[in-house]
A = this chain, B = another copy of it.
Amino acid sequence: SINGQRLWDSLMDLARIGATKKGGNCRLALSPLDGQGRDLVVGWMKQAGLTITVDQVGNIFGRRAGRNNALAPVMTGSHLDTQPTGGKFDGCFGVLAGLEVMRTLQDHGVTTEAPLELAVWTNEEGTRFVPVMMGSGVFAGKFSLDTALDACDADGKRVRDELQAIGYAGAAPVGGRPIGAYFEAHIEQGPILENEDKVIGVVTGSLGLRWYDVTVDGMEMHAGPTPMPLRRDALFAATHLMQAVINIANDHQPDGRGTVGVVQVHPGSRNVIPGRVSFTVDLRHQDAASLSEMDASLRQACAQVQGQHGVRVDLKDVQYFPPTPFDASLVGMVRAAAEQAKLPHRDIPTGAGHDAVYIASIAPTAMIFVPCKDGISHNEIEDAKPEHLEAGCNVLLAVMLARSC
């Protein structure tokens, strides 16, 4: 079994890069700090005997040869980028759990039949650049390499240039690399396992997701002399849509989710009625038909607000992935490994998107969840117990061995 202390220590070492005051991490995708985090982990991967390849979107692959290298490798992985106010475990646990598996096999001189690979996917979080799950998305053919490389952050900086700047604009083509099976370990990022005292979540599949950009155009006017009835206040109109997002999710319980995360108000002056408001929408559901209904309701709300408030509402689709079931056989292996180790477990969907969701469309895929404190993630206070991380990593070791031997 794996070395839980070593896994924890590596997590804490990595968390020093981009550490925030409240104990979290800020290593935005392709920022200099993301580059430093990658350098640290690539060094560890080399020490663990892995052969490194970097592809054109900055995905990193560390390969451990097997006895039969014609076999498609068993891959694990996750991401190293974080939210602006992110935690120490989201993504990093999956990468370092994979590393710990590799280190453990090295310690014991084990050679598997099929080769093993550890992947670090680029820009999973989707905070600085969309599409979200960018590296795995291009790898799985969900969108083109140019779509990814031309994506800009809020300051107009491009993925293409930022990859160069941190030294991760690799030469390998993106995708086409064989994958025999893909496992990803991750913290749950929700409260279910903790509430039920489970240690392992056997992830059966993922909620579908729809992202949008909404822009509401009204009329900038003076906050003082302009009578209320003459206003076309873009913000007042927008608040009705922001509430509609929440109400639509509430109408599709227990699985619906709705979030407005980014808001920009123009021109942004105390005494100016906002002339333009832009905001993001994130809708999710486990069931494709329900997600379609939610999408239709949002469009209807936009039309209604446009009609009632004398504003122009523009709704732009930004990203979509459907509810994605994982591979029944691999999911069964995760369940069996938890069972075998006598770890309390339950089947669970993932409400977060993961690189595994895109990889699931090109290779058999499953995920292993462990609890996180109070279900809190995408927050600096995100926390997880060493013994849970160790247990999750041991399940990862077990399924990777079972699948590659």
For A130, A239, A240, A265, the residue with the greatest tally of chain B CB atoms inside 10 Å of its CB is A239
Count A-side interface residues using an 8 Å CB cutoff: 71
Report how far A246 CA is from B274 CA in the complex, Å: 13
Chain B residues in 8 Å Cβ range of A271: 83, 125-127, 132, 259, 261, 282, 352-353, 378
Task: Evaluate whether A223 and B379 lie within 8 angstroms (CB atoms) in the complex, with A191-B230, A246-B236 already known.
Answer: no
Interface residues of A, dominant DSSP: loop
- Which residues 180-226 of A sit at the B interface, judged by CB distance below 8 A? 188-191, 207, 209, 211, 219-226
Chain B residues in 8 Å Cβ range of A229: 253
Say yes or no for A233: interface residue by CB 8 A criterion.
yes
A225-B188 in contact (CB<8A): yes
Specify which of B254, B273, B378 is in contact with A222 (CB 8 Å cutoff): B378
- Which residues 259-288 of A sit at the B interface, judged by CB distance below 8 A? 259-263, 265-275, 280, 282, 284
B246-A351 in contact (CB<8A): no
B270-A376 in contact (CB<8A): no
Specify which of B236, B258, B267 is in contact with A83 (CB 8 Å cutoff): B267
B227-A269 in contact (CB<8A): no
Additional pairs, 13, CB under 8 Å, beyond known A225-B350, A233-B259: A127-B270, A132-B270, A191-B226, A223-B282, A224-B350, A224-B353, A226-B351, A226-B375, A233-B246, A236-B246, A261-B271, A262-B270, A270-B280
A residues bordering B, Cβ < 8 Å? Answer: 83-85, 125-127, 130, 132, 188-191, 207, 209, 211, 219-230, 233, 235-236, 239-240, 242-243, 246, 249-250, 253-254, 256-263, 265-275, 280, 282, 284, 350-353, 375-380
Pairs A-B, 8 closest by C-beta atoms: A190-B225, A225-B351, A223-B259, A224-B351, A224-B352, A239-B239, A220-B379, A222-B378
